[in-house]
Amino acid sequence: MPRISGVDIPGEKPTYISLGYLYGIGRATAIRICRSLKIDLQRKAKELSDDDLARIANLLDKEYVIEGQLRRKIQQDIARLRDIGAYRGLRHRRGLPVRGQRTRTNARTRKGVRKTVAGKKGVKEMR
């Protein structure tokens, strides 16, 4: 398994698919990287030479923010929003959807498991 930026990429898959295993590199970016370095897209990642791997690593270091640096940058951005008291920061702090989605129904991914609150009894039972 070839190793790029501290991550083992799968050797049995084509190069552009394997590059997608790096955090911050998607399909389109992986294709752009392969084309700029003139690496065959369909070549298996295990068939890449050490020179090819070094060229990919150098390009990623120079032009892209990936893996740990990207995770750190995202966390810093969220912390900045919280510190300045922005609306988005408050939503992050409360664990609610940040981008304007509805919360009356559907926000289970952000809100977590439904917590049942004891409601009013029916009108019939009060008589």
Reported as a single tens digit per residue, the pLDDT across 18-59 is 999 999 999 999 999 999 999 999 999 999 999 999 999 999
11: pLDDT strictly greater than 80: yes
Residue 29 domain flag: yes
Residue 16 domain flag: yes
User: How far apart are alpha carbons 71 and 81 in whole angstroms?
Assistant: 16
Q: What is the Cβ-side half-sphere exposure of residue 123, based on CA atoms within 13 angstroms?
A: 0
pLDDT score recorded for residue 120: 72
Residue 23 domain flag: yes
Full domain range(s) for residue 47: 3-67
- Confirm if 96 and 111 have CB atoms less than 8 A apart: yes
Residue 113 domain flag: no
| Helix and strand numbers, DSSP H then E, in the chain | 6, 2
User: Average pLDDT over the chain, rounded to whole?
Assistant: 91
Residue 116 domain flag: no
123: pLDDT strictly greater than 80: no
CATH of residue 18: 1.10.8.50
User: How far apart are alpha carbons 124 and 126 in whole angstroms?
Assistant: 6
pLDDT score recorded for residue 40: 93
Residue 74 domain flag: no
Hey, how many other C-beta atoms are within 10 angstroms of the C-beta on 105? 6
* CA-closest candidate to residue 44, choices 7, 4, 22, 15: 15
Residue 103 domain flag: no
* CA-closest candidate to residue 13, choices 29, 28, 30: 30
User: How far apart are alpha carbons 31 and 18 in whole angstroms?
Assistant: 11
Number of folded domains that form the chain: 1
Residue 110 domain flag: no
